[in-house]
Amino acid sequence: MAAIASGEIAEETINTRCLKILKTKEWLGLNKKEKLDKTDLVKDLNSEEFNWLNQRLADASITLLRNENNTLPFLKINENKTAVINIGADRTAKHFGENLEKYLEVQTFNVTKTVGFSEIQNIANELKTFDRVIVNILGTSNKPKKDFGITDNINLLLSKMDKNRENILTIYTNAYSLYKLKNLDNFSSIMVAYQDSKEAQKAAADAIIGAIKINGKLPVSAGQFMEGDGITIGKTIRIRRNVSPFELGLNPSDLKKIDTIALRGIKEKAYPGCRVLAIKSGNVIVDRSYGHQTYEKRKKVTSQTVYDLASITKIASTTLSLLQLTDLNKFDPNNNLCDYLADIADTSDYFNMNLKEMLSHTAGLKPWIPFYDYTLVNKTPSSKYYRNFPKEGYFKVADKLYIDHSYADSIYYKILTNPLRDKRNYKYSDLGYYLIYRMFPHMTSLSLEDYVSENFYTPLGLKTIGYHPLKRMNKNLIAPTENDRLFRNQVLRGYVHDPGAAMLGGACGHAGLFSNAYDIATIMQLFLDKGNYAGEQFFNSTTFDFYNTAHFAKDKNRRGVGFDKPVMNPDSGPACNSASASSFGHSGFTGTLVWADPEKDLVYVFLSNRVYPDAGNRKLIDMNIRTDIQQVLYDAIDKAEQRNS
């Protein structure tokens, strides 16, 4: 009324806007009283499609008002120690924390809006050891007369933020609260999420980590910021886990058959439990856990369950590292073995073994050698080679079993003196990857496990993938594999299933990697994007294309250099019938499969421990469970493409 009296606002403007709202209500039929059918009302109002719409709205609303030195999104997430301060601890920041902690480790401080001076000082002192601090202002108010819930205590805490580090402020309330906030110059990045909802919290975490685009604009002028302000960050840099299939035009009902197939495998005891993860265009569309780690059903499979990847190690460790070393001119797949292993006699059949042929399984190597057999006496590890206690110069093979590290030389001797096959046709073999593993210290001065960790897993911010999982995590996270009655005489949990890799201390080029589904999916996404992830180029796209080519297809060899490729015959090979010729991946003896298809922009991960408790269990393979699930994904994507065409 005062604004009308002063002429600041015309009464006609108010009338026009009021009429607009009334006409909208009439258009929606709200002027007619209708009895509401309450049957399934809560379910109807909280359908997956509606939840997806709420999340889309929250994602689109995130507004970045300041981003000095490109603080956001976080790139090399493990290089900085990160703290999160949730102001308004009476309102939970659970959803923000859960989403952010999927990507990086943080230390969280929860305080109320009336936090006292001494606590503020204590927090300020603790924050001195952190490289960056995320401050969330939650539990506020939309009412101007309550200053939007911004208290003097909040401003005092903001004043203690050291402006010489990266500080990120996110406000979950009315944008006008910017009028009431002080000491904003202490923050290199400022975001507005507008509301304190689970969707807004998830969106803010995704924005910080680079899992969603940021393009919101401030709808009003407030404080030092003007209407229309908003920095755009247009490209997502990281796999987004918080997404609905609806966003990609997929109907979730088309994916439900996955449940039927996976649960049928458990019922038929093809495996005690499994993980299924699918990523379309950088977005997780299927993320499901089934069953338990063992048939005893003591611990359920979760998103954090870690599995022995078995031969997926060949691509996720060895091939991954060789791609980068090729770019660095430290490895050339066109060279021969003698170019990297000087101790091979020039009279050996192995001396001029071509590495491209070896990595493509067409060099004449035999499939495998049971190295452990040579170390057993009466089916028991011989005391000549083993100890049941730690000792200098011994590798740990399994619980209370250690092998003399010098036996590694015997393993390599057995490989290099083992005659090659007369035919140099395609024959899958682990043996070449033992030799590649031995080459690594000569190429890089690092072991393979150290090289791949330092140059890939750590920069990518991956938490679980790697060798020797028991050194890095609680064993209860790790699904056990076989009850080994032939060699180690124990249930293997956290120790590599492959006996040859175990005899080398748990790491080799063909086996030894453990991972949860998220981490191995990230590696596959890195391959799919030809070396680019989180703003960094790890290897060149042309190098990847060379490795992903079946160089010996004319000899009926489907394999690329390191990578497995699909068989173009229906109902055969490692991938489903719909996988394109450009797709690639690998399977693992323990019951695992990873696959990526550039034509569909699709990553598929299936993890299980089908070898528990007996490696002779072939039901997973005979029932085609992995490829049947993969086919469901293709069928759902094809339906979506037909609907959108």
Task: List the CATH number of the domain containing 84.
Answer: 3.40.50.1700
Q: What is the pLDDT of residues 250-290, one digit of tens each?
A: 999 999 999 999 999 999 999 999 999 999 999 999 999 99
Q: What is the pLDDT of residues 87-129, one digit of tens each?
A: 985 556 889 999 999 888 999 999 998 999 999 999 999 999 9
Counted domains in the chain: 2
Claim to verify: residue 283 and residue 194 sit in the same structural domain? no
d(CA 339, CA 347): 15
d(CA 116, CA 537): 47
Host H or E run for residue 87? strand 82-87
Q: 115 lies in a domain?
A: yes
Claim to verify: residue 62 and residue 89 sit in the same structural domain? yes
Q: What is the pLDDT of residues 526-540, one digit of tens each?
A: 999 999 999 899 999
Decide: 397 and 503 in contact? Cβ < 8 Å. yes
Q: Which domain holds residue 570?
A: 243-297+564-645
Closest by alpha carbon to 85, among 110, 67, 103, 55? 110
Phi, psi of 616 (to 5 degrees): -80, -5
Claim to verify: residue 86 and residue 197 sit in the same structural domain? yes
pTM of the model: 0.92
- The owner of tokens 């796999």 is 239
Claim to verify: residue 190 and residue 261 sit in the same structural domain? no
Which residues make beta-bridge pairs with 605? 277, 594
Claim to verify: residue 168 and residue 53 sit in the same structural domain? yes
Q: What is the pLDDT of residues 291-335, one digit of tens each?
A: 999 999 999 999 999 999 999 999 999 999 999 999 999 999 999
Q: What is the pLDDT of residues 177-226, one digit of tens each?
A: 999 999 999 999 999 999 999 999 999 999 999 999 999 999 999 999 99
Claim to verify: residue 197 and residue 277 sit in the same structural domain? no
3-class secondary structure, 176: helix
Which residues make beta-bridge pairs with 607? 275
Q: Which domain-ending residue is among 242, 258, 284?
A: 242
Cβ partners under 8 Å of residue 361, min gap 6: 426, 427, 428, 429, 432, 557, 559
Cβ count near 110 (within 10 Å) = 18
Decide: 316 and 511 in contact? Cβ < 8 Å. no
Claim to verify: residue 210 and residue 279 sit in the same structural domain? no
Would you state the structure tokens that stand for residue 202, as one six-digit string?
A: 């998830």
Would you state the structure tokens that stand for residue 468, as one six-digit string?
A: 């020797």
Q: 381 lies in a domain?
A: no
